[in-house]
Amino acid sequence: MKNCKLYLALAFIIVLLGCNDKAKSDDFSGYWRDSTGMALFQVKAESSENWTLSSSLGSLTGKKIGNSIRGTTDLQDSFAMEVSGNTAVYSVLGVTIDYFRITKDEYDSLTNELQSSTAPPKIVNTP
């Protein structure tokens, strides 16, 4: 009976440690896409509090505040990114978009597809 109580107490402590916010600090890092696969971005930690969100349109920097990254765009509009597991919610200008975590290989593949589908046509000069 003593061993059972000891194991239960140990399991409870492990669960509490697993719920610690520090364990979740890297949840923002990685590659993200929307449900259409047309909007992609990468999130990197510059430090424990400063983060960069990069896409083909440019980069935004923000600070980790609670369970979100918050900052302002170049036009001084506020943005926020909140993560829950492998899903993220990005909000700017009152628009909210759901994103899903993807692997680097998926990100690279989708980026290449988007670049080739949106690239201007090549002009061939013929004599």
Answer whether residue 2 is part of any domain: no
Answer whether residue 102 is part of any domain: yes
The pLDDT tens digits for 2-49 are 554 544 444 444 544 444 444 444 589 999 999 887 788 999 999 989
Residue 66 has pLDDT above 90, yes or no: no
Say whether pTM exceeds 0.75.
no
- Which residues form the domain of 105? 27-113
pLDDT, the chain, mean: 78
- Which residues have a Cβ under 8 Å from the Cβ of 85 and sit 6 or more positions away? 27
Report residue 123's pLDDT band, with 50, 70 and 90 as the boundaries. low
Answer whether residue 34 is part of any domain: yes
Q: Indicate the number of domains in the chain.
A: 1
Nearest alpha-carbon partner for 88 in 35, 36, 127, 50:
35
Report residue 72's pLDDT band, with 50, 70 and 90 as the boundaries. very high
| Euclidean distance between CA atoms 102 and 20, whole angstroms | 24
Task: Give Cα 101 distance to the centre of its chain.
Answer: 7
**What DSSP letter does each residue of 101-125 carry, written as one string?**
EE-HHHHHHHHHHHHHHHSPPPP--
Residue 81 has pLDDT above 50, yes or no: yes
Answer whether residue 8 is part of any domain: no
CATH number at residue 64: 2.40.128.50
In degrees rounded to 5, what are phi and psi of residue 78?
-75, 145
Answer whether residue 94 is part of any domain: yes
